[in-house]
Chains A and B, each alone.
Chain A
């Protein structure tokens, strides 16, 4: 066997070695390419050859070395890839197991409704009155009733059973007294008054699915020159479409509140109303009371009813939440079952 043949045999031999799956690549390298390796051995033994033969053997030796080197690199890369694959396979998780969920608290559903109302009216340039000075939950008979054109013994006082503390102090039955507290202070030279007053109110009621001795109201009031009932209608349409969806319509029916004249009840359509909807197919739901502020109320707050006109409305967040989400029992809002509260956790509505 010539040296050239011997060297070419090494390539075959190394290739065979490297083809074994568990081959120790480093050992193969040492065996063939190392300082004391087989190739070096052959090259060392060619001192007796002619120059031409040396040249030929040297060339073949280098070719074989390079070829084995390449095979080794190839094999190393393949082994590394296999090892990585194995490692990753070992690290594979069941992605369907539950994640570690940090808890975010949920704003109360009534708060969410009030937030929505507030955002709407802020956009329309209203102030929000909700501090204890202008919107106290414990009111005087004077502000809760008398200034609202409900003198003592007025039959309409029957509409609101009241928790009295003393004959003159009571838990407010409505957010309307905020109107008077703000109106009497407002500087009309700086423009009209536009306000809403969200807050808790109380009635002497037995708690059941549809009655609660504590609930919420959002009072609205606009006082200015040339405020009309058409403005009231437009304002109510806009808030109802905000809360219930833009395809819903409202209708006004005559009603009676001592503090407004004319007074109206407002119904919102339960279904969406389009140009094709027949009037008899609209289901109306009563949602709020409103009206043009009674001249007596304006007068008592130092406003000339000849010069200024005003409208007022009272929104019921509890009722809205019940309607909007189909909550069947008003008490749910105040018992704070976390499973109830956390159902309303969708943000950005």
Chain B
């Protein structure tokens, strides 16, 4: 809310110091005590050199059909100014940007300096300006820029030589406050006055407009109001002003509106806005004579009803049973608090006006404003909660203002509906409770004093407080709210700083947390950078690399972009996006891992299953030296990836790990993909991403794995046991066998271990050979077997015997030829 401090001072005694430093200090105080500050200063803080001048002479430019040469008077001397303004005429009071003046350029938003200029041979000492040209936003200027320069009205009371910025209100000190949803009271001058008074020790005097010529006849006789259904509004009040003449508002009113961000329209509508800003009460004005029926009903929209048919504007469909509307008879005249039918708006021909002040149900207003995408100053306040005790006085001031503006007559009284269930809020609490929550030791007197500063009524009975809350503070309802009021006014800076005492608690990670953290550390040791990718993606990506089949996707009801519509079911897709991003930026060697959730939406009515997974991608070279070894030799391959997965599983404590060739993953290379098992439990897969898949995206060869961390956490329960290192010697035997190509290493190992006897400690594979010297369809494999007895020196004969059993079994079971 943009608060004009000159205006605010009308409420305050003795009044705020408006010097520059005092205003900055006040803003700081507001920020530390109430709400955040958006801006402090003046609307036109940087501009200068703008004066009011009178156009004394006017003649056409000899070399131009649209330029005119004027002689203007600035109170001291005549100045020649060339202007292209279409509306300039003699005798006008206008704004001159003098030579050397600074104004804000409309196009660039930058500060520019006015220079003496020659326009088609004629010297111009400055420029006549429109409001838009001196820094006022287009949205709040009463006239469009095409209409020309700003012209002061006679009753504005300005004189040649006056500082134009000052008379336009653009030098008034302003504080623009941000708003938290609870502090609806700070959306009015009146509310701001109470708030600022509490923090500066000022006294507040309510401001009202009165003294209009009042008619003997009643408002009630000209219009009545009823609330159709309970719950739509707590109260609605009408006033009628007869015999208005609609015209521009005085400059004083207009300037307050435009400094507050509202565009002046006419003396009726402006009064509505003025008193809305002053009191926070939404107000609407209708042309009474255009209403066919003078009975106003507040009810919900009916099926098929629309707002605003005529006027060539498109009608707005109303939400039946959901939108609160104002109807005159059966004619919808307004969507309550949000919009009105232009047909009933006050225009220059309006003679009699109907003013409406409503207290509509905040929840309905909020939904309507959202659904129709229409936020108004009124709806904004209504949905946050207005002062229900101030509706009638606010309307009364507004009606007086309308009547006085054009010497019209105010019909007596207000036509009312509702207003019967407005209860006072009383909160009971204790000083000790307030101290307990804040961690302070404030005295009863201090607490009472702080609450009274806010103009709350406090009854203190030995520390037991009964606090009556005025209607403007709709946010105060429970004792905790009073704790906040005391806390913030006392000053959070003044609170002591403590650390919780009392019972101590142990902070420790769970086993699950330790395993997850250890998993991350292991992959970092293995050279993978940690990635955190987006969890939302397209349905295709979300399911492209699932570990086990597709699940129904978890889809957003209303996504923000077509790239991110569902939650991922695998991590590899996100990592491939990361690879693509890196490749596009010429990064060639990529090792990324990610640990995060995947979402399996198997029951749409419930939350999905969320599983922690860990996945990684390897791309490019693994060379440690940039020059000693050829990069080619260090290119990532299946075994580079597999080895890392094996090291991880070994170190995290998963045993009995086996790898099984798998063709089940559609987006993986069918010959270079393996499912990973721990015993019988499937824990994930690894391999090369399908060459077709990467080719389509113009990506290099990618190796990837994904593991289910949930399974790994469950499986890795191995107790660490210590075994003394045997001091007895080891004996090794090398084994080279020739066998069918289809037989896997795993099968060979299985046979070796089954037939090995008790002393075999380790089998290491060290050679694979195919080609020259081996028959077609055969391959040669070589292993080293290590034997050791934990408790005795192993004799050669024993090893020879055991080794013979292995070779025999390989020959018999796998048809291996021992070489």
Chain A residues within 8 Å of B, Cβ to Cβ: 97-108, 110-111, 121-128, 130-132, 136-140, 153-156, 158-159, 163-166, 169, 171, 191-192, 194, 200, 202, 204-206, 213-214, 222, 224-231, 233-235, 237-238, 251-256, 261-265, 292, 294-295, 305, 309, 333-339, 341-342
Given contacts A132-B611, A138-B567, A159-B181, contact A213 B32 (CB under 8 A): no
**B587-595, B661-669, B729-737, B789-797: which one contacts chain A?**
B587-595
- The answer, yes or no, to whether B671 is at the interface (CB within 8 Å) is no
Asked if B536 contacts A202 (CB within 8 A), the reply is: yes
**B695 at interface by CB-CB < 8 Å:** no
Query: With contacts A97-B627, A265-B36 known, is A122 near B529, CB below 8 A?
Result: no
Inter-chain CA distance A248–B235, complex, in Å, is 52
Q: Is the CB of A214 within 8 A of B610?
A: no
Note all chain B residues with C-beta closer than 8 A to A153.
363, 366-367
Contacting pair B383 A155 (CB below 8 A) = yes
Chain A positions within 8 Å of B483 at CB level: 261-262, 292
Q: With a CB–CB cut-off of 8 A, which chain B residues contact A128?
A: 509, 513
A309 touches B532 (CB 8 A): no
Q: B557, A164: Cβ atoms under 8 Å? A: yes
Check A262 against B480 for contact (C-beta < 8 Å): yes
Q: Which residue of B lies closest to A151 (CB)?
A: B363
Give Cα distance in the complex from A108 to B498, angstroms.
33
Question: B607 contacts A100, CB within 8 Å?
Answer: no
* 6 A-B pairs closest in CB distance: A230-B439, A228-B439, A256-B180, A262-B484, A100-B625, A252-B492
> Does B679 have its Cβ within 8 Å of any Cβ on chain A?
no
- Contact assessment for B564 and A222 in the assembled complex, using a CB-CB cutoff below 8 Å: no
Binding site of A, secondary structure by majority: helix, strand, loop or mixed?
A: mixed
Minimal Cβ-Cβ distance residue in A for B597: A137
CB pair B181–A206 under 8 Å, yes or no, is no
Q: Does B748 contact A (CB under 8 A)?
A: no
Smallest CB gap from A159: residue in B: B181
* Residues from chain B with Cβ under 8 Å of A111 in the complex: 520, 530, 532
Q: Which residues of A contact B439 (CB under 8 A)?
A: 228-231, 233
B610 & A132 in contact (Cβ 8 Å cutoff): yes
CB distance from B651 to the nearest CB of A (A): 15
What CA separation (Å) do A171 and B436 show in the bound complex? 36
Q: How far is the CB of A148 from chain B (nearest CB, A)?
A: 14
Report the minimum CB–CB distance from A294 to chain B (whole Å): 6
Complex-state Cα separation, A156 to B523, whole angstroms: 42
Q: Which residues of B contact A154 (CB under 8 A)?
A: 181
Per the bound structure, the CA–CA distance linking A158 and B495 in Å amounts to 31
Roughly how many angstroms separate A185 CA and B84 CA in the complex, as a whole number? 76
Minimal Cβ-Cβ distance residue in B for A193: B505
Whose C-beta in chain A lies nearest to the C-beta of B35?
A: A254
Q: Of A122, A233, A251, A341, which one neighbours B531 at CB under 8 angstroms?
A: A341
Complex Cα gap A112–B524 (Å): 13
12 new A-B contacts, CB < 8 A, other than A108-B531, A171-B567, A230-B495, are: A132-B610, A132-B611, A138-B608, A222-B500, A224-B502, A229-B487, A231-B500, A252-B493, A262-B484, A263-B484, A338-B529, A339-B587
Q: B306 at the A/B interface (Cβ < 8 Å)?
A: no
- Encode B431-459 as 1/0 by CB contact (under 8 A) with A: 00000111110000000000000000000
A138 touches B599 (CB 8 A): yes
- B180: A residues at CB distance < 8 A: 255-256, 263
Interface residues of B in 579-617 (CB under 8 A from A): 581-582, 585, 587, 590-593, 596-597, 599, 604-612
Residues in B with CB closer than 8 Å to A106 are 524, 529-530
Residues in A whose Cβ lies below 8 Å from that of B36: 253, 255, 265
- Residue on A with the closest CB to B508? A122
On whether the beta carbons of B610 and A138 are closer than 8 Å, the reply is yes
Q: Cβ of B436 and Cβ of A335 under 8 Å apart?
A: no
Q: Is B499 an interface residue (CB 8 A)?
A: yes
